[in-house]
Amino acid sequence: MSGKRIRKAYEGIDRVKAYSIDEAVKLVKSRAGAKFDETVEVSMNLGVDPKHADQMVRGVCNLPNGSGRSVRVGVFARGAKADEARAAGAEVVGAEDLVEIVNGGKIDFDRCIATPDMMPLVGRLGKVLGPRGMMPNPKVGTVTMDVTGAVKAAKGGAVEFRAEKAGIVHAGIGKASFTEQALVQNIKAFADAVSKAKPTGAKGTYIQRVSLSSTMGPGVRVETSSLSAG
């Protein structure tokens, strides 16, 4: 983003002020002027140090209005469960064969689900799937016997979140073409899921700072108290 474009994008935005969620969404939507449908992203600075096991934040949020993304789902399963995954709409399904393909560096999916019996095999893919944040995990519902439910959740707008090194959680929570109301509902649902994932070791203020932006647009600070569902 060039200096001129940045200045223009920030016109009318007070960079220091924290806006209510409704105002922030309005500002972000009005500045999403790219030729494609920009993703609206939320970023939350949390009062945690994820290096400590009791301060790790991880979870999943089912966005009430979906994410607007078309998500390709990969499922590690055998037999009847593999058939169930295909019937639910998973694009890539397999067992040992799929492990080999992924190990070779070909990942043709955005979300990864596995049945519990497949985890000894899938565990070998930690170096490939781990850095991409795609390793199946029972905590976020991606290691499960309910393959149909997991595939449908992934397709319907379930977003996973995980605190990064600096204690920041971020996620795409919709598209600029969504209505203001739909975006506000999605953001509140996401903030609620992050709040519920508060770890036992978190001290002091948990949600410290929140900002909202679109793919090509400026960041807008959000008043944290306006995020509580209601």
Domain ranges of the chain: 14-67+158-227, 73-155
What pLDDT was estimated at residue 69?
84
211 alpha carbon, distance to own chain's centre: 15
Q: Hey, what are 128's tokens?
A: 């490939």
CATH, range 73-155: 3.40.50.790
Options 1.20.120.400, 2.40.160.20, 3.30.70.920, 3.30.190.20; CATH for 14-67+158-227 is 3.30.190.20
What pLDDT was estimated at residue 183?
96
pLDDT digits (tens, 9 = 90+) for 26-59: 999 998 888 999 999 999 999 999 889 899 998 9
What pLDDT was estimated at residue 82?
97
Q: With a cut of 50, list the residues of the chain below it in pLDDT.
A: none
What pLDDT was estimated at residue 2?
57
pTM for this model (two decimals): 0.82
What pLDDT was estimated at residue 135?
93
